[in-house]
Amino acid sequence: SAARNHRKIHGTFARKDDSMPGAISTYRDLDVWKKSVDLVVDVYRLCKQLPDSERFGLISRMQRAATSIPVNIAEGHGRYRT
């Protein structure tokens, strides 16, 4: 049956084989990961425009928060790929 060819992951169904067209083989294939990396670049660019007095306050927090997004996506993708 068709249900045997799929497994349930977080409320959605994913095919067991990765040979289908458009299959995600790595987190780098995910559009959301690509956009999150763009966000990191934008945040770092923006932080260069802020005063040095914010170096260990706002800048540090913004950079850590932005960087955590693609890291968490990659970690979550890896968790369900093994």
Q: Cα 72 to the chain's mean position, in Å?
A: 6
CA gap 65, 58 in Å, rounded: 11
* pLDDT at 7 > cutoff 80: no
- Answer yes or no: pTM beyond 0.95: no
pLDDT tens readout for residues 51-80: 989 888 999 999 999 999 999 999 998 887
pLDDT tens readout for residues 15-54: 444 456 667 789 999 999 999 999 999 999 999 999 989 8
What pLDDT is stored for residue 2 in this prediction?
40
Question: Quick one: tokens of 23?
Answer: 């299959």
